[in-house]
């Protein structure tokens, strides 16, 4: 018989004293879970944990599958809510007060600068991480049935994340804020018929002023966070209802076994066993493919949370959020640049306002929303890039787009419609510019890939990769290669970086 060491016995006693007492039981209902029944009960009986299943498929826990990006997005959101609430104690959304409140945070409030840094860097990180999460979901084909609608909820979350960041940009009321929002809101005014109306609704007038500040503030602290919380609630609930995270289908032998077990001639069935429909136990799986969520999933989440807080704190400690001089409507910086995630659009707007302000964003939104309904073949779910062929197509799509974008941009510089035909009407400029030509080329390239491979998934992989790469190139051009009057400059000469 194995005897316990005095140390082990002491540790157990201490754990039991800490967790198995009246107060802890009154909150958590039971002591530290040391058997599977209790581990499952922890998940059922805790308000925060019951969003997770009692058991998790091992595939979902592979760090290289999700890269933890969804959960990091959630943690960043929670950090933003916390730091944002604290910032609200020191900030008044008035054009007279806002900037001096920022200065007070910097020089008067204890740790005010760290608080502001944490909020600012978490916001930038969230835009980047949510975007990467969307890419992970796309490249693992996790938008396919039954997760189509959750993908659509995700696209709405992506839009809300961008709007959260955009509305927050104005609040410091410095030159950077003022002109980034002036440029951003003018992009929103380009759609014909409704554009001006959208801008007036957004700004509460024609220009960025007190009305705009209060509108952005209310959207930033109440409306958008509220919408995001509801959307996230639905997003997480749908993950459970859709059978957990996506994964490759079970091997045929197992599936067959599952089917045989499901309809045995030697068994009497209850009605509920025959009813159609999905439950959280979709695609019953072998028990050895699952682990208890407590502690496997919960502790991984905890580690990710600690990691996010640690990295963010280090960044906030060493790098200060920018604060330029007080907003001055009479002194636009040259160039005035939009927030970095809209710089790609601003670059296309510089070729044609209609292309950058309407055609490209509309194509991106419609494309993202409809992908799961066009690419319906269940092929490739749960595996990065679907197959070796998918990997090749993704790689070649990225590689092929780079010269195409650069050549088109160069051609536009020397042979744009207005250079060739100085009096050409605006419609020709709007129809023939790098933005619209690329969309036509992308559509053709993706349809060609679809027909050639006979797979809608391959067409989708090509299309997404074309868009992703070209937008990245235009963002880099806007960030590092555009100077005064939107003229070409070298990165070391570029201004207005944010």
Nearer of residues 60 and 397 to ligand HEM, judged by Cβ:
60
Whether the CA torsion 197, 95, 99, 105 is positive or negative: it is: negative
Contact letters for ligand HEM, residues 161-200 (x by CB under 6 A)? x---------------------------------------
Shortest distance (Å) from residue 141 CB to ligand HEM: 9
Shortest distance (Å) from residue 84 CB to ligand HEM: 15
CA distance linking residue 350 with residue 136, whole number of Å: 31
Task: Tell which positions 246-265 bind ligand HEM, by CB under 6 A.
Answer: 246
Nearer of residues 131 and 428 to ligand HEM, judged by Cβ:
131
Interface pick for ligand HEM out of 42, 71, 429, 439 (rule CB under 6 A) = 71
Contacts for 44-47: CB closer than 8 Å, 24+ residues apart: none
Nearer of residues 212 and 239 to ligand HEM, judged by Cβ:
239
Size of the site for ligand HEM (CB under 6 A): 26
Which among 198, 480, 161 has a CA at the least distance from the CA of 358? 198
- Ramachandran angles phi, psi of 208, nearest 5°: -80, 115
> Taking contact as CB under 6 A, which single stretch among the options 63-71, 172-180, 200-208, 449-457 is the one that binds ligand HEM?
63-71
Nearer of residues 67 and 90 to ligand HEM, judged by Cβ:
67
CA distance linking residue 386 with residue 380, whole number of Å: 4
Helix 98-107 vs helix 112-139: angle between axes, to the nearest 10 degrees?
100
CA distance linking residue 497 with residue 155, whole number of Å: 27
Interface pick for ligand HEM out of 33, 53, 70, 435 (rule CB under 6 A) = 70
Nearer of residues 13 and 62 to ligand HEM, judged by Cβ:
62
Nearer of residues 74 and 458 to ligand HEM, judged by Cβ:
74
Shortest distance (Å) from residue 134 CB to ligand HEM: 4
CA distance linking residue 177 with residue 173, whole number of Å: 6
Task: Tell which positions 121-160 bind ligand HEM, by CB under 6 A.
Answer: 130, 133-134, 137, 142-143, 147, 150-151, 154-155, 157-158
CA distance linking residue 270 with residue 451, whole number of Å: 47
Shortest distance (Å) from residue 371 CB to ligand HEM: 9
CA distance linking residue 461 with residue 40, whole number of Å: 39
Contact criterion met (CB below 8 Å) for 203 and 195? no
Shortest distance (Å) from residue 229 CB to ligand HEM: 10
Interface pick for ligand HEM out of 52, 69, 171, 359 (rule CB under 6 A) = 69
Q: What angle do CA 251, 142, 261 make, to 5 degrees?
A: 30
Shortest distance (Å) from residue 370 CB to ligand HEM: 12
Q: Residue with CB nearest ligand HEM?
A: 154
Contacts of 154 (CB under 8 A, 6+ apart): 134, 137, 235
Nearer of residues 70 and 496 to ligand HEM, judged by Cβ:
70
- Ramachandran angles phi, psi of 270, nearest 5°: -85, 160
Interface pick for ligand HEM out of 56, 66, 386, 409 (rule CB under 6 A) = 66
Task: Tell which positions 327-366 bind ligand HEM, by CB under 6 A.
Answer: none
Interface pick for ligand HEM out of 39, 42, 56, 73 (rule CB under 6 A) = 73
Nearer of residues 381 and 412 to ligand HEM, judged by Cβ:
381
Task: Tell which positions 436-455 bind ligand HEM, by CB under 6 A.
Answer: none
Shortest distance (Å) from residue 367 CB to ligand HEM: 11
Contact letters for ligand HEM, residues 209-248 (x by CB under 6 A)? -----------------------x--x---x-----xx--
Nearer of residues 158 and 450 to ligand HEM, judged by Cβ:
158
Backbone φ/ψ region at 485: left (φ over 0), alpha (ψ -120 to 50), beta: left
Shortest distance (Å) from residue 469 CB to ligand HEM: 18
Residues engaged in binding ligand HEM (CB under 6 A): 66, 69-71, 73-74, 77, 130, 133-134, 137, 142-143, 147, 150-151, 154-155, 157-158, 161, 232, 235, 239, 245-246
């Amino acid at each position: 018989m194995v005897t316990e060491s005095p140390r082990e016995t002491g540790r157990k006693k201490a754990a039991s004293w800490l967790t198995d007492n009246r107060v802890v039981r009154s909150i958590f209902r039971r002591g530290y879970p040391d058997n599977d029944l209790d581990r499952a009960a922890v998940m059922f009986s805790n308000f925060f944990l019951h969003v997770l299943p009692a058991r998790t498929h091992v595939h979902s826990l592979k760090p290289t599958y999700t890269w933890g990006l969804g959960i990091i997005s959630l943690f960043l959101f929670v950090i933003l809510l916390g730091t944002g609430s604290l910032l609200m104690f020191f900030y008044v959304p008035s054009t007279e007060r806002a900037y001096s409140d920022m200065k007070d945070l910097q020089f008067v409030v204890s740790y005010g600068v760290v608080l502001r840094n944490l909020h600012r860097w978490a916001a930038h990180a969230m835009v980047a991480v949510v975007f990467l999460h969307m890419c992970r979901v796309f490249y693992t084909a996790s938008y396919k049935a039954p997760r189509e609608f959750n993908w659509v909820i995700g696209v709405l979350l992506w839009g809300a994340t961008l709007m959260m960041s955009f509305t927050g940009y104005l609040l410091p009321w410095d030159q950077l804020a003022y002109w980034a929002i002036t440029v951003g809101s003018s992009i929103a005014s380009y759609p014909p018929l409704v554009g001006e109306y959208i801008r007036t609704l957004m700004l509460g007038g024609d220009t960025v002023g007190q009305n705009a500040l209060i509108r952005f503030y209310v959207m930033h602290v109440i409306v958008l966070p509220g919408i995001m919380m509801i959307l996230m609630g639905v997003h997480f609930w749908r993950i459970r209802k859709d059978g957990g995270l996506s994964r490759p289908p079970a091997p045929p032998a197992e599936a067959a076994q599952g089917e045989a077990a499901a309809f045995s001639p030697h068994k009497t069935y209850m009605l509920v066993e025959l009813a159609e429909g999905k439950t959280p136990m979709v695609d019953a799986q072998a028990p050895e493919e699952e682990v208890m969520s407590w502690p496997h999933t919960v502790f991984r989440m905890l580690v990710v949370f600690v990691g996010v807080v640690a990295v963010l704190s280090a960044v906030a400690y060493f790098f200060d959020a920018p604060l330029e001089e007080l907003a001055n409507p009479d002194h636009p910086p040259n160039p005035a640049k939009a927030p970095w995630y809209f710089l790609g659009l601003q670059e296309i707007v510089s070729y044609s306002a209609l292309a950058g302000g309407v055609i490209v964003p509309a194509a991106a939104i419609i494309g993202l929303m409809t992908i799961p309904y066009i690419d319906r073949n269940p092929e490739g779910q749960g595996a990065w890039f679907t197959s070796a062929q998918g990997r090749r197509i993704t790689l070649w799509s990225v590689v092929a787009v780079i010269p195409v974008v650069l050549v088109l941009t160069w051609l536009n510089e020397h042979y744009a419609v207005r250079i060739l035909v100085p009096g050409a009407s605006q419609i020709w400029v709007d129809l023939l510019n790098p933005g619209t030509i690329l969309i036509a080329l992308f559509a053709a390239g993706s349809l060609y890939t679809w027909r050639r491979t006979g797979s809608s998934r391959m067409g989708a992989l090509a299309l997404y990769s074309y868009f992703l790469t070209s937008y990245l190139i235009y963002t880099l051009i806007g960030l590092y290669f555009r100077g005064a009057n939107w003229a070409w400059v070298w990165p070391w000469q570029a201004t207005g970086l944010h």
